[in-house]
Chains A and B, each alone.
Chain A
């Protein structure tokens, strides 16, 4: 009798704790460039986050997630800082997320550390960023993961001896070019020059820069530019100058063959080789289900790209934290959950490195091929479970 009464009491208590009366609304502050040149990226990440949320309501343990969004507009860092200050002090958010541009993720580090708010970085890829605050965890990528391995692959497998690197002149650009140089030279190649090619805000005319490369005739040109209109311009200029005919291969991180821009680049994109962590064309069950759900939610014309998948995975991490902490977000406990967090992402298995709070993931060598009249990303090699080489090799600020 006593036992059954106890069971009943426990059941009632359980009902209350899991039920409406104790359901919490977890406020997640999202900082993305909703307007300006990066608005496209913001949309991808937001669509990814919302897709995960709509598919996984049951994993919230009866709690609710409220997304409080703020526009970071441009890469300068200033607007993002004001936005985060407001999210922390006025909106009292429990978790922060988003961050497309590296300078924005960097500028808010002191605020996040001071206020103790866990922050899930969903793009910003400059390698040393997670070291800037103990409350940062990154689910996206690091510039060195793609850049270093593109360099190694180009020298080892593609047999290139000389290369030049062009980059958009801001932190991730410098980072990516340096990573490529290190990888290429570690594998015995020689990088003749690293050339800054304009800034991130507006698309420069790449012709003068590419002309310089063409005159120097390296085997390959490695290009880091922000995904989007910069990338389309790079591929166009490469073809217009007849650089392929001059024997100069165009390679880079996957930003230059972003899924959402690829078809618009035309046949000139055929044969490009890039190293990246995601393409919508991956032939895995996880990815197929993801792309199918994406198209069901956002229309057949809509395609997820790496930004979309980063938003999806980022929300998966946040939901997992909410679930395990039962809606009571404590920053240090949240970070303990994020450290070593594992997920079967559409891009393949991912993990957050417990030491560095940075992403560990597969890098894939992409080759653009044509099937029918559609350009496709074909995976020609996989480099499994890559930790950030910048931290592994202790380069510069990654020490």
Chain B
């Protein structure tokens, strides 16, 4: 018996790949719809935006690329959708070189199409991408036009009514960075620490642990961690704005709630393999001793 179990350690890894593949594919084709529980770091971002109105401005920075879009895109869409629902003005931009521009253009175009009453330049502006990392961030905090002379289409900022109202990010009421990697940290330790602007970050699950240090220190008002956090934000929107049900029930829309079905099944498969691996490990040790 022990020898048979010990043989499991040499299992062909293609079986693992097959199970993970099925665990990913089946919930995509047949959504399960697991319930979502809201955690405080996500709730606090939602609550902050709920306090804002049509005279307030949110700076939304798309600091991610296609590699993490599956996690970051639903949270970016949910945040900008929430702002548009409350008629909060949005200044969207990107600081991530590997696909940040595609992310900001895609999200702004996609979500603004749901709100035909909103006017570009008055209710929202897409500044596009700027290279330069922290230097660009410092510049746009002081004055957007120093970092972005024009918006993503090259329109001078001086001709856009919203940009007359908010000259720099420090004049906004909230900055949200949807980030992969280190850029979200810069928003906390440059923009929050130096200008006092409330900062929230939406990040991938793998980088969430490091952001807890900033969250606990009060340098960030909230955190959307990975697909789980994004699904929580979607649930908050569904609870607070029932009209979003038509958006989130669209079978073609990639949502975090659907992604959570995949994550749940895959996590269970991985845990199952870890347990199986340890049973095989101990069976092997027992067989050797015998």
- Physical interaction between A and B: no
